[in-house]
A = this chain, B = another copy of it.
């Protein structure tokens, strides 16, 4: 159904995400490296955590006219710059379109929001497949023309089903996974195959109301604001690095059902914003916290 004119920018750029121990001159060193090799910088943001003494940076430059060929940039950067500064770095090319898998259960709102953006061409991504533990949302996948895989999960078959899911994801060369209200807890084994590559949406303002039934808990506590939180999945439930959060007001007139309804709009927007930041390579993770560049 990808029939709508894409909104994508056709950029031929490279992106470096860097973090390293802070010291004088890192910024000058990196920008000088790019400048003298004729790399026109179109984005640069950096942050210094003075408490942890860590330097973070995202820089993007045009490959057109850049003196170092794409396949050599990593090697050169590592040799000339990164090693001596003890840098942890990643290099991305914007014409490498990442492959994303969606995990869903029964609720369609996040799935629809993502597929609508995908179909409208809002994101530079491909979605080769949707995985679910239920069949409820297969018709949605069908109408959007995306392969749907059904892996029912129970206590007895979970290890085996996850093993098959991982094989499928590897076979399809999936780069990252989005849990679009997937109501199963992934095993530590699964998560370790996709470190900082599984994005979840939790339907509360974390760390408040982690775990099951957060709207019920919010109602019981009588909060005046509810929220939603997108985060990278780690082996600690609902405790991974937070990417994005948003909130909306509620009051005594809101029953649990009304909170659930209000929350759906939050959940889908917050999840999609997190996916977009991830796709733009604007997120760095350090010590269970994120740096999210503007």
Contact = CB atoms under 8 A, between A and B. Distances in A.
Contacts of A4: 108, 136-137, 139-140
B252 A292 contact: yes
A206 to B, nearest CB: 7
A136 B5 contact: yes
Interface stretch (A38-46, A73-81, A87-95, A171-179): A38-46
A223 interface: yes
Interface in A221-251: 221-225, 227, 241-247, 249, 251
A32 B35 contact: no
Nearest to A30: B28
**What DSSP secondary structure best describes chain A's contact surface?**
mixed
A41 B242 CA distance: 28
B252 A290 contact: yes
A58 to B, nearest CB: 12
Given A109-B120, A289-B222, A294 B242 contact: no
Contact of A225 (B113, B116, B247, B289): B247
A272 B137 CA distance: 22
Nearest to A9: B257
A258 to B, nearest CB: 10
A49 B246 CA distance: 27
A196 interface: no
A109 B117 CA distance: 8
A247 B228 CA distance: 13
A269 to B, nearest CB: 6
A3 interface: yes
B5 A27 contact: no
A286 to B, nearest CB: 9
A83 interface: no
A151 interface: no
Contacts of A288: 222
Contact of A28 (B32, B120, B272, B292): B32
Which of A119, A208, A244, A289 has the most chain B CB atoms inside 10 A of its CB? A208
A72 interface: no
A84 interface: no
The 7 tightest CB contacts between A and B, nearest first, are: A222-B289, A112-B116, A208-B208, A3-B139, A28-B31, A252-B291, A224-B245
